[in-house]
Structure 1
Amino acid sequence: MLFTINELNQLFTEARGEHKDSIPVKSIMTDSRRVHDQSLFVPIVGENFDAHDFLKKAIENGAIGALWQKDKKVPAYVPTDFPLFLVEDTTLGLQQMAGFYLQKVSPKVVAVTGSNGKTTTKDLVASVLSTTYKTHKTEGNHNNHIGLPLTLFAMPEETEVVVLEMGMSSFGEIETLSNLARPDFAIITNIGESHIEYLGSREGIAKAKLEIKAGLRGPLIFDGDEALLSEEHDVSENWPCGFGEENRNVIKDMELSDQSSSFTIDGRAYQLPLAGAHNVLNASFAITAAKLMGVSEEAIQQGLDQSKVTGMRFERVEGKNGSLIINDTYNASPTSMKAVIEVIKQMKEKTRKVLVLGDIYELGEFSKDLHRKVADAVNDEIDAIYTFGNDADEITKAVLHQNPSIQATHYTDKQTLADKLTDELRDDTVILLKASRGVRLETLLETLTES
């Protein structure tokens, strides 16, 4: 049970129906098409829809009360005793209820944001903390002004720690989420180029990410090698992590293999079942948070060992003819694309290395230039590169200019690209798939794999 109907009178002073009854609310419903027994319906208003129109369906599917925007007429079919809480804005009401439930459960809150790596870091933090605490975390892409409240409502009452991913595309969004969650610890994984179309510059992105401090009640754990976060080094309670000696937690003795990494922090050796220096940095954030929360060294390593990251992030898939496909298509930025190319270059199990790179979205006027900069990560360790979409052609052009010996071709038709890639399916070959989520480059797997 989340709360009772009459408890909501503490939040919402205007109501109609039997709003003073002690009726248990077991879930929150934002989609009237799904059955939710004993739920409170929250009709979200979007640019192209208004869920107030679907209250009847919500009642049929288990709603025993609802929020209701004051300027909307209550339909005649609504029973006079049906509890309706009248609010100025239903999304704000959703957030208020989430904050109310968070206070009731009262877990420690770890908030994670960043241009890249926030989901992997969230998964690592949750895995490590779950060895010691009853832990709940953000699932899927529930990291915005609606998704984060839904993550909180899914939190069991016995939760001791909740790990919340916070995403954004414009100024003010992280601030709203931070003030809602009031995190005890916050993590900024890095400052990249994601959403630069809306934020104008990397400096703007850093400013937006630092909004996570708005509701922060404890230390900030962050990428200490990032110059745009340098002022955070001066805050005594903060924990900069990275490879530079000026950091509070310094990553040393890093060794990378095709499927794992090893490194030390403060003289302690760790093993990570993920490849790449960027994932070592992500793990350092999780280790730091765990130490601050009193997790033992043995439990930290256990949590790293059992960590499982969200799908389509460096996901290894068996390709035809013994080839290996790396499906990293969940999303992309120039920074993350270059990072994963570095991992492919370092792989030893396959000698022939092929990149399939698609468009990176939300780069605005910087798009062509930032696509070209991806080519800086490509050298003669890469045997072939295929690009797909529109501005991804800039990667091809830059590669051919810098490394004319590399086979590089651009495609605008996905089926033609898929047909060409069948020639690359050999037992000595690894093929990387990387692009923004909207490109849906993972559909190529139907051609590249047996299943």
Structure 2
Amino acid sequence: MNVNKKKLLEKILRFMARVVLEKYHPIIIGITGSVGKSSTKEAVALIVSRAYFVRKAEGNYNNEIGIPLTIIGAKSGGASIFAWGKIICKWLWMVIFPIRYPEVLVLEMGIDRPLDMEYLLSFVSVKIGVVTQISSSHIAFFGSLGNIAKEKGKLLASLPPDGFAILNSDDKNVIRMQEKTRAKTLTYGFGLDAMLRADNLLFHRDVKRVEGFSFKLNYEGKTIPVRLPKIIARHHISGALAGVAVGVALKMNLVEIAEALENFEPLPGRLRILPGKNGMTLLDDTYNASPVSTRAALETLGEFMAPRKVVILGDMLELGSDAVEEHAMLATDVVASGAQIVVTVGKHMRSLYEALLSSGFPSRQAHWFP
């Protein structure tokens, strides 16, 4: 699709989405951040669906086209004029005739260039805004972490006084955003300053099996146990805590929230355990990569008991002038994970390969492919 056609489609979809929202007035939960948006979206939808009729964004429907389609409740028409015609007919029907529309929309609001958030907020009125983390993803288009935070912070600035800003207190760039909003604030994290705090974190595993995490959830003097049997990565717990905070904002019961989280699991390609051949176990984190998410994956690998660990890593993209340094800096994390064999792929990953050799990692156990 050429640029002009894409822009026209975006304008049409924006108009259609705005009409639907004005007719049905759902509560909109908007989630943004450099990493962790998708897992947080899953946790939020899982929890809130216990009390409300919920629709969440599917797949990567987090941009100028995907968000309006989520609002309409349709999938992309792709290159088919007939498919887009069906979407328009569906939209006309729901505008003319009342339908059972979701009470809550859980939207993932992805941005990769300046003014992206501004565009999304031109037709989406968010009531509860969640910010997960700020990192160097897409820094090639923003120039600095400060500019990334500024763009994502527009979501919080748009919240109404009776709305809620849900902030990760473990990220200093996120917590500073409290100054940008008129909404009430709920913070979550592992630190003592978090309003919703996880402690007594335990990873349940032995040589043959993994049974996920458990922790104690603390909020306003109350403490309840939480089990996440399908979660193997610590950073996914942050997504679960964000989901808890949204549930609290919607006045849901903490026990009911904890029960919902027992079914929380990562999306495909986001640190899921897959069975391999001959007793091997695969940790699949192939969906995307940033320095933060790659370090989190390596930290998770370090928690596993295994006679041999193999790490296979591809390039982390859109890091701009920081690409060489960011890849090289992963060497310490790779070694700390306990990896015996490391396979790196891509032009940027050569920096990691060379850094490993310089650190004394055995050359026979490190490999690089262009």
Q: TM-score range, shorter-chain basis?
A: 0.7 to 0.9
Change (3 A) 1:259 1:343: farther
**Cα distance in structure 2, aligned partners of 1:212 and 1:402:** 43
TM-score (norm 1): 0.69
Quick check: 1:233–1:240 contact (8 Å CA) kept in 2?
no
The within-5 A match list for 1:54-93 is 89-93=8-12
Residue pair 2:231, 2:264 contacting (<8 A) in 1 also: no
TM-score, normalised to structure 2, is 0.84
Alpha-carbon contact 1:178-1:216 (below 8 Å) kept:
no
Which residue of structure 1 aligns with residue 171 of structure 2? 226
Is residue 358 of structure 1 aligned with residue 314 of structure 2?
A: yes
What are the Cα deviations for residues 248-290 of structure 1, in whole angstroms up to 9, with x where unaligned?
A: 2222111123451111221222111211221111111000101
> Hey, what does 1:149 align to over in structure 2?
68
How far off its partner does 1:151 sit?
0.6
Aligned to 2:340: 383
1:46 CA displacement:
3.4
DSSP 3-state at the match of 1:385:
strand
Question: Do the aligned residues in 1 keep the contact of 2:231 with 2:266 (CA within 8 Å)?
Answer: no
Q: Provide the rounded CA distance (Å) in 1 between the counterparts of 2:242 and 2:113.
A: 25
**2:5 is aligned with 1:50:** yes
Shift of 1:395: 1.4
The alignment partner of 1:97 has SS state of: helix
How big is the shift at 1:321?
1.4
Higher relative contact order (CA 8 A, sep 6+): 2
- Contact kept in structure 2, 1:114 and 1:190, CA below 8 Å: yes
Paired amino acid for 2:27: K
Alignment-derived partner of residue 123 in structure 1: 42
Instruction: Give the C-alpha shift of residue 160 in structure 1.
Output: 1.2
Over 3 Å counting, the alpha-carbon distance change for 1:188 and 1:148 in structure 2 is same
- Greater Rg, structure 1 or structure 2? 1
Identity %: 29
Q: Give the RMSD, CA atoms, in angstroms.
A: 2.1
Match of 1:205 in 2: 148
Q: Is the 8 A contact 1:379 1:403 kept in 2?
A: no
1:368 positional shift? 0.8
Q: Distance in 1 between matches of 2:178 and 2:196?
A: 12
Q: In the alignment, is the contact (CA less than 8 A) between 2:233 and 2:271 conserved in 1? A: no
Letter in 1 for 2:195: R
- Pairing of 1:289-328 with structure 2 (within 5 A): 289-328=246-285
Q: Which runs of 5+ in 1 are unaligned?
A: 1-44, 52-68, 70-88, 413-451
Q: 1:296 to 1:120 in 2, by over 3 A?
A: same
Q: Residues 210 and 390 from structure 1, CA distance in 2 versus in 1: closer, same or farther, beyond 3 angstroms?
A: same
Alignment of 1:335 with 2:292, yes or no, is yes
Aligned position for 2:367: 409
Looking at structure 1, the residues matched to 360 and 147 of structure 2 have their Cα atoms a distance apart, in angstroms, of 33
Give unmatched runs, 5+ long, in structure 2.
Answer: 75-98, 205-209
Query: Equivalent residue for 2:80?
Result: none
Alignment match, 2:197:
250
1:346 Cα deviation from its structure 2 partner? 0.2
Q: How many residues align?
A: 330
**Bigger mean CA deviation after superposition, 370-379 or 89-98:** 89-98
Mapped partners of 2:35, 2:245: distance in 1: 18
- Aligned with 1:238: secondary structure? strand
Change (3 A) 1:221 1:335: same
Runs of 4+ aligned residues of structure 1 deviating over 6 Å after TM superposition are: none
Q: CA deviation at 1:316?
A: 2.1
The CA distance in 2 between the partners of 1:162 and 1:386, in whole Å, is 41
Partner Cα distance (2:13, 2:178) in 1: 36
- 1:346–1:294 distance in 2 versus 1, CA, 3 Å: same
Task: Provide Cα deviations, 1:55-114, integer angstroms capped at 9, x if missing partner.
Answer: xxxxxxxxxxxxxx9xxxxxxxxxxxxxxxxxxx55223212202202222221111111
Matches within 5 A, 1:4-43: none
| Greater mean deviation of Cα atoms: 270-279 or 159-168 | 270-279
Q: Deviations over 1:185-234 (max 9, x none)?
A: 11111011110110111122111221212432212112112122343356
Q: 1:370 maps to what in 2?
A: 326
Give the residue type in structure 1 aligned to 2:10. T
